[in-house]
Homo-oligomer: A and B are copies of this chain.
Amino acid sequence: MSESRRSPLPIPNVVIADEFWSPRRQVVRAKTLPHQQERLREGGPFAALRFEWRPDPDDDRERFPIFWESDVAKWIEAASFALASEADPALEAAVDEAIALLAGAQQEDGYLNAYFTAIKPEGRFTDLRDAHELYCAGHLIEAAVAHFEATGKTSLLDVMRRYADLIDREFGPGGSHEGGYDGHQEIELALVKLYRATGERRYLELSLRLTDARGTTPFFFDAEALERGTPGYWGGNGPIVRSDKRGREYNQSHAPVREQTEAVGHSVRAMYQYAAMADLALELGDEGLRAACERLWRDLVDTKLYVTGGLGADPSIEGFGPAFHLPDKDGYAETCAAIGLVFWAHRMMLLTGEATYVDVLERALYNGVLSGASADGTKYFYGNPLASDGTVERSDWFDCACCPPNLARLLTSLEHYVYAVGDDGIAVNLYVSGSARFELGGQRVSVAQSSAFPWDGAVSVEVETEAPLRFALRLRLPEWTTGDVAIEVDGAAADFEVERGYAVLDRTWRGGERVGLVLPMGPVAVRADARVGAAHGKVALQKGPIVHCVEEVDNEAPVPQLVIARGGEPAVEHREGLDRITVPGLVDEPAAGGLYRTGAAPVRPTEIRTVPYFAWANRGKGTMAVWVRESL
């Protein structure tokens, strides 16, 4: 077949030494991980694992203990990824301490969930829809695999295998919860990782079983609710059974996953489900799951994706609205959903060898994901709106703290996303300076990248081999390039084929070659499909993968009063580590004489200045917009 299944490189094989990414990753190490560790220690999760925590019914912030294992897990996972790239004995000891707490909380039969052990033991596995038990288990399994791969220690892996074995028994054929699955997908993709780490195929089969059970009739969540006879964890006064379309779509249990055609419901749940489906399609060669993934992908990318790579426009469900419903100010675009899209897109690239998935991954990564944290890494957005009326700012933390540790684990595992390797050679997916070691045709091959990406599209790639070796070096040609891409090898223009979105240099590499690549990167004005109401008559400015926004602090009027002059030449200045685009524009002027008038709208010329979207909201509150009116 013409396509190729690929693998990512293990973290130790990749060195990231990049002016853009390295400082951000260093912030995660130096600030985010210690900050999160402190929160786990002080905020309840560690106490809960010691069975010392009791809920305070008067404290609304204590509604979230059911997520605490996932907080611990994502922190362990992020720390493990960090340990995989650079040793840190203090961090490793802290991880071991957390793992000891988890091991201590594990029950005789393998069960591991503090809330449903110490607080509500009678509730164990009775509320799959709402209670996030398997979701937490999934994150712990991901943490166990990352910890094992980083340190070689099986302390957490052993714990989680025992728990996974229990889940396999209870949710497997003849088990007391046969046919069940979690209301928040996560364990499905985690079990694929556990299979890969252990070679135990029954974890893969359990993942497939959980995936394929979803949305079949009779509906599992109805049955468990009727059996339980009480509302779920969030129940409130609603009906015990949520059989309405919106209720079922919320957790993507409205139809068997293979039959799903539209991205609906809670967007993080959706991303984790689709990621697991892509994993299973790859591991099993399952064409039905692959076809479903491709359908869902098209629906998302063609109708429900923000230009920032954010997704999930409807705050009321933290999820998808209808097609083309992408409001800016009142949208949602949860950081975790953009991170989930990175996970899914990455797997789709591995499955298909298509660069188009990396285009979307890159769009999300550099925009809707990065915007989730402040420049200093200490404040966070849960939702990432594309416009602000001046009231939006990042928060220190969240009671439901899913996003900050998710961002941490993505940044500390960035190594996974830069390259891929397979029968079709080496794919350079992201332009991130540093180096990588591959095993190819029995040889060690290394590739070193250098660029000022994402600010400059000139990239140098040096290839080293032990001996001459023929392979294809695939350099991704981003969809945002604004002109012909030029490639040189050792200073001479190189011919190349374009295949599945990559420039393919298929040749015998002798070692020491220097490939020069120039990706023209704008700036350009981007327009949205006419069905996107929030972007009507508006443009967004973009340079390379970086989507810009206009912030009030840089401009002479509140952003809604600004109009970009059509055809005006944008200029770029790089200052304080960021590109800024300047374009000629107009300002609406407040009129004398009342709110409404029949004369021409008074305007005056101005310069409109941007910053990268990910960097907004670092200089106080003010109006902001990605989509800015354009004169017509």
Residues in A lying within 8 Å of B, measured CB to CB: 301-303, 305, 307, 330, 389, 482, 524-533, 536-537, 540, 542, 557-558, 560-561, 563, 586-591, 594-602, 629, 631-632
Contact = CB atoms under 8 A, between A and B. Distances in A.
A336 B219 CA distance: 47
Contact of A563 (B301, B537, B591, B594): B537
Contact of A530 (B540, B590, B594): B590
A588 B534 CA distance: 13
A594 B302 contact: yes
A557 B530 CA distance: 10
Given A301-B595, A526-B597, A529-B595, 13 more contacts: A302-B595, A307-B595, A307-B596, A527-B600, A529-B590, A530-B589, A536-B629, A537-B563, A537-B588, A537-B629, A540-B596, A631-B632, A632-B632
A600 B526 CA distance: 9
Q: Which 6 A-B pairs have the closest CB atoms?
A: A530-B588, A631-B632, A533-B560, A524-B598, A527-B601, A530-B590
28 contacts: A302-B595, A303-B595, A307-B595, A330-B330, A524-B598, A527-B591, A527-B596, A527-B601, A528-B595, A529-B590, A529-B591, A530-B557, A530-B561, A530-B587, A530-B591, A530-B602, A531-B558, A531-B561, A531-B590, A533-B560, A536-B560, A536-B629, A537-B588, A537-B629, A540-B596, A542-B598, A586-B632, A631-B632
Contacts of A595: 301-303, 305, 307, 528-529, 532
Contacts of A527: 591, 596-601
A19 to B, nearest CB: 27
Contacts of A528: 595-596
A561 B324 CA distance: 12
Contacts of A591: 527, 529-530
A482 B561 contact: no
Given A536-B561, A537-B563, A632-B563, A598 B531 contact: no
Nearest to A597: B527
Contacts of A307: 595-596
Contact of A301 (B532, B557, B560, B594): B594
A598 B526 contact: yes
A480 to B, nearest CB: 8
Contacts of A303: 595
Contacts of A532: 595
A560 B536 CA distance: 7
A630 to B, nearest CB: 8
Interface hub of A531, A540, A591 (most chain B Cβ within 10 A): A531
Nearest to A602: B530
Nearest to A525: B598
A527 B110 CA distance: 68
Nearest to A547: B596
A589 B527 CA distance: 12
Contacts of A529: 590-591, 594-596
A462 B248 CA distance: 69
A69 B363 CA distance: 60
Contacts of A587: 530
Contacts of A531: 558, 561, 590
A237 to B, nearest CB: 11
A590 B596 CA distance: 32
Interface hub of A558, A596, A599 (most chain B Cβ within 10 A): A596
A303 to B, nearest CB: 7
A631 B594 CA distance: 23
A536 B588 contact: yes
A386 to B, nearest CB: 12
Nearest to A595: B529
Contacts of A590: 529-531
Nearest to A558: B531
